[in-house]
A and B are shown apart, each in its own frame.
Chain A
Amino acid sequence: DQQVKQNSPSLSVQEGRISILNCDYTNSMFDYFLWYKKYPAEGPTFLISISSIKDKNEDGRFTVFLNKSAKHLSLHIVPSQPGDSAVYFCAAAGSPGTYKYIFGTGTRLKVLA
């Protein structure tokens, strides 16, 4: 049973435009959400996170939105750059004291020059 879902396996966007990557979760106990970026043959690198007490977190070109009632989060990249082309994973974690981070299946973003 997939508790964290990324329903779009791939996404293509023109350079300079907005990229929107989506993630849905089923477990209402999740209280911390993270986005990771992964290039081929490298480990994932942390991008941005959000706590369930917030509905938005911004870091430069990257913004994460959380809609708790819909159990949905999204990552916005504005403006998109060719170097953003990578696989993006969302992850969710339960209450402090739990150890597991549940990852989605990933979305491959391609930014076209």
Chain B
Amino acid sequence: DVKVTQSSRYLVKRTGEKVFLECVQDMDHENMFWYRQDPGLGLRLIYFSYDVKMKEKGDIPEGYSVSREKKERFSLILESASTNQTSMYLCASSFMRRTNEKLFFGSGTQLSVL
């Protein structure tokens, strides 16, 4: 069974802290994504990666960075956490879109920044 694993289900951090969110997939997918979900705003794409060491900005990259050193792992970094980054963070992965490929999501990390 396919699996996308996010390292933490719940995180509480202080304003100004550096925060790492980790995601691992076991499906040998080329593409990996980070989304955040907020009420009334749906899922918004932060960053995505289509290959090791490759990254592309999504729709809301400000305040975030990412790292993809290995194909199976994609990390989201909040350099200096702020209260407006309190959100549900969702990692997803997919095969390269040659035909119709779907996204597989992890269980999410609920981050609270105090």
Chain A contact residues, CB within 8 Å of chain B: 6, 9, 32, 34, 36, 38, 41-46, 49, 51, 89, 91, 93, 96-106
Contact = CB atoms under 8 A, between A and B. Distances in A.
A43 B107 contact: yes
Interface of B: 4, 6, 9, 31, 33, 35, 37, 40-45, 48, 50, 56, 58, 90, 92, 97-100, 102-108, 110
B42 A89 contact: yes
A98 to B, nearest CB: 7
B113 to A, nearest CB: 18
Given A89-B42, A96-B98, A103-B42, A42 B108 contact: yes
B108 A41 contact: yes
B108 A100 contact: no
A42 B50 contact: no
Contact of B58 (A38, A98, A100): A100
B110 A43 contact: no
A65 B96 CA distance: 26
B97 to A, nearest CB: 5
B40 A41 contact: no
Contact of A41 (B9, B43, B56, B98): B9
